[in-house]
Structure 1
Amino acid sequence: MGPVVDVVPTSTEMPASTDVVIIGGGIIGVSTALFLALRGVSVVLLEKGHIAGEQSSRNWGWVRRMGRDPRELPLIVEAFKIWDGMEALVGEDVGFRRTGILYMCDNDKDVAHHQDWLRKADDYALDSRIVTGPELAGLRPGAAKPSHAALYTGSDGRAEPQKAGPAIVRAAIRAGASVLQQCSVRTIETEGGRVSGVVTERGPIRASTVVIAGGAWSSTLCHGLGIRLPQLAVRSSVMRTGPVEGGPEGAAWADGYAYRKRLDGGYTIAEGSSSRHEIVPDSFRYFRDFVPMMLQEWQSFSLRISPDFVGLLGGNQDGLLYERHRVLDPAPDLALLRRAQSRIERAFPVFQGAPIVQRWAGYIDATPDAVPVISTVKSQPGLVIATGFSGHGFGIGPAAGRLTADIVTGDTPLVDPTPFRYERFIDGTRHRPSTGV
């Protein structure tokens, strides 16, 4: 069972038409809804389960610029401006704090890797730097032994995933957006060669624009329109502790564990070094697209047959797929989490005996180059895609929603959207991730 998410009121009235339909109530969908509603655009957000029910509430809660693919840096810089003003924007504290993030380095090779990223990020005047010795020790109070070095960004931070999405969508509702939960989209309709609306389990809604912000479901939604969107789901397991006195502030990634201090004094902890892809029909459909990523990440990548494999063979032919899967709630990898717990207890003895309050897992929506799609689709007027954030979506989400709203309305885009264009997957572009981790 996933973490408990703040409750959001749902609309009871089913509108017959609207300007924009957004499919998906994660951080991207709700942010898009807010920025559209603030511009006076009529918008209906449809969520098959509940707001932030999947990866948008199950992620680590990091809000970082450090280690980003250079193509994402302009967008995350803008995202920080929104996070800084988030409490004023939505009228609630979502836990955003600039408490710093560390990427630990075990040797000089790790340091060189992060120095290479620093050179790529030099144009953005970040405060990221390599720290060592007493300064690093001061950033890791209670550590059992000194560390070789770390890449550190003191102005990076954290927020609470179980609060952020609900707070943003409540602000969108106040601004005029209509939000329907437990309402799946069965099909996206077209008329005269362009999008004309959607058919939901409660009936049709006409709209001139449809935004697919469906996370791990986005490729299937696109497939229903004959659009090929290479995307695979990667399972990530997480746990949280009760309050821990004397633990480190902020967040850090190290070999075998990652942590982030929570607003409640506990910690969100993950293994951080391993990813698992569960084989489904799309695994074969998009195998060639993902070969470069798998070769690059082979040491941290594992495969297994999905328990839902047979059930997914038919796709969404009967239109009921999303109603059969209201919330993706995979079982956490307990062995992986036990390993992370053991390693963080060795690194920080203060965690020994800390109560584990909950364990959960979620599905990260990955693209072959680990960069999102935020884009129109030339072959399908009226369709906008905002998906494929590859585990980076929570922190960048508010700015991604703002950029998506810009694309929908035709306003000057927040940043150059070219790196996020959909057509890169069909124009022969070579796809390789480029990150600092």
Structure 2
Amino acid sequence: MPGPFVVPVHGDIELPKEVDCVVIGGGIVGASTALELAESGLRVALCEKGGIGQEQSSRNWGWIRISRRDPREIPLMAEALRIWPTLSARTGRDTGYVRAGIVFTCTSDRESEQYANWLHHLKDYQFESRMISSAQLANILPGSNLNASSALYTPADSRAEPQRATSAIAEAARERGAAILTECAVRGLEITNGEVSGVITERGFISCKSVVLAGGAWSSLFCGALGLHLPQLKVMNTVFRTTPIKKGPEHAVWAKNFAMRKCQDGGYTMASLTSSVVDIVPDSIRFIGAFFPALKSWWRSLNFRLGSRFVEEAKMATRWRMDEASPFEYCRVLDPKPSMKHPEITLSNAREAFPCFDNAKIAQRWAGYMDVTPDAIPIISAVDPIPGFYLATGFSGHGFGIGPAAGKLMADIVTGRAATVDPTDFRWSRFSDGSKITLIDSI
């Protein structure tokens, strides 16, 4: 079943012989990195095995939130909230950005206390976020029947259109001089005297001094072929959009049994909070030690499945020659089959909470794979064993909202300029240097 329609970006025909930096992966993080580097005056090639923004960057909820973020991500997300309002003008294209606020409802005193305690993490930032009562919630969401005792309300939170935003950023990068190469898988790195000297793509060789891997769910496979340990697993979530309705809520809402946000056409993107699926695959066994603490915390919210995906990944090559097709060429776009059951249940739950959805119908459903790390925060880092190689991956379902700031930080690291935020928590080496991997349970 095809995923959501993405504003198409046509790839360049000519392969550049030499650039300063190759970015691997045409999702929002890769496109944002390419734009930042190109605006810094570097020659950039963005290589994507399929099409721009066709995997998780177009399949997410479209939320841009600082609320309930892991405290380690808050400085970067604060930067993202400053960048997002400028992107439509900066790219010259509509990203669908709207600052509409997000509401997280609470159904218990314990939950309300957790959210209230989280608020102190924003004390040094100029973003409004506060706890509100059930009466105040009713004023913000008139006509709703939400079963909530209180809510966390963050007016600074926003939304945008995933099917538009990444394409807009990539086109802007091209206008700044970047080469945008679609259906151009990178098979591997060329290493000379221990340092990156280029990449081998399916279309030929590109000489460069730095490479940024922003490969999402494919990053661990690419790193493994280089002999690098990158503990990362895929989590699948089903999303759907409704037909347009009248007088629906402007705010995005996270309730007990559904989440939703308004789309530009007046319909809504919705998802179930309990529909996330973890396929048991060979990497599940390989990385079980790193992920064990997370599995204990997330056990009740995940659905584990042993099926055909195990066999598919077991058959997938983990090493390949540079003159033969890589796994990235055999699967251009990850397009998992969405759940047929959860969307119907989710829409029914939304109708109970908001009678305005009584006549809404499911217009389309799709699924996507989130690239998840053991501590659920990303890697934005140099890879010390291979000078000139960098990672921007493992965004754990947060990549769309944080993507523009992640691209800026990655460009800071590549160019050696002063970092937008302290990148220490996002270093790749935290999985191998003996650091304690901390999972924030309340997020």
From the superposition, tell whether residues 28 and 51 of structure 1 become closer, same or farther in structure 2 (CA, over 3 Å): same
Report the counterpart of residue 433 of structure 1 in structure 2: 439
User: Size of the alignment, in residue pairs?
Assistant: 437
CA displacement at 1:119 relative to structure 2 = 2.4
Is contact 1:137-1:146 (8 Å) kept?
A: no
Q: 2:388 aligns with which of 377, 382, 393?
A: 382
CA displacement at 1:241 relative to structure 2 = 0.7
CA displacement at 1:435 relative to structure 2 = 6.2
Q: 1:418 aligns with which of 412, 416, 424?
A: 424
SS of corresponding position for 1:78: helix
Is contact 1:219-1:229 (8 Å) kept?
A: yes
CA displacement at 1:422 relative to structure 2 = 0.6
CA distance in 1, matches of 2:205, 2:36: 24
In the TM superposition, what are the counterparts of 1:38-437 in structure 2 within 5 Å?
Answer: 38-145=39-146, 147-313=148-314, 314-318=316-320, 319-434=325-440, 436-437=442-443
Q: Percent identity?
A: 49
Question: What code does the residue aligned with 1:331 have?
Answer: K
CA distance in 1, matches of 2:127, 2:13: 46
CA distance in 2, matches of 1:216, 1:433: 20
Give the alignment's Cα RMSD to 1 decimal: 1.3
Is contact 1:15-1:205 (8 Å) kept?
A: yes
CA distance in 2, matches of 1:323, 1:347: 45
CA displacement at 1:146 relative to structure 2 = 5.4
Is contact 2:279-2:309 (8 Å) kept?
A: no
Range that drifts further, 150-159 or 130-139 = 130-139
CA distance in 2, matches of 1:139, 1:323: 48
From the superposition, tell whether residues 136 and 218 of structure 1 become closer, same or farther in structure 2 (CA, over 3 Å): same
SS of corresponding position for 1:190: strand
Is contact 1:68-1:435 (8 Å) kept?
A: no
Is contact 2:23-2:44 (8 Å) kept?
A: yes
CA distance in 1, matches of 2:231, 2:319: 19
SS of corresponding position for 2:209: strand
CA distance in 2, matches of 1:415, 1:52: 26
Is contact 1:219-1:230 (8 Å) kept?
A: yes
From the superposition, tell whether residues 305 and 188 of structure 1 become closer, same or farther in structure 2 (CA, over 3 Å): farther
CA displacement at 1:124 relative to structure 2 = 2.4
| Length-normalised TM-score, structure 2 | 0.96
Deviations 1:136-193 (A, max 9, x none): 1012222135521110101111000000000001100000000110111112221211
Question: What code does the residue aligned with 2:317 have?
Answer: G
CA distance in 2, matches of 1:357, 1:258: 17
CA distance in 2, matches of 1:76, 1:30: 17
Question: What code does the residue aligned with 1:401 have?
Answer: G
CA distance in 2, matches of 1:69, 1:90: 29
Is contact 2:134-2:151 (8 Å) kept?
A: no
Is contact 1:128-1:154 (8 Å) kept?
A: yes
Question: What code does the residue aligned with 1:339 have?
Answer: I
Structure 2 unaligned runs (5+)?
A: none
SS of corresponding position for 1:85: helix
CA distance in 1, matches of 2:20, 2:146: 58
Question: What code does the residue aligned with 2:123 have?
Answer: D
Range that drifts further, 408-417 or 193-202 = 193-202
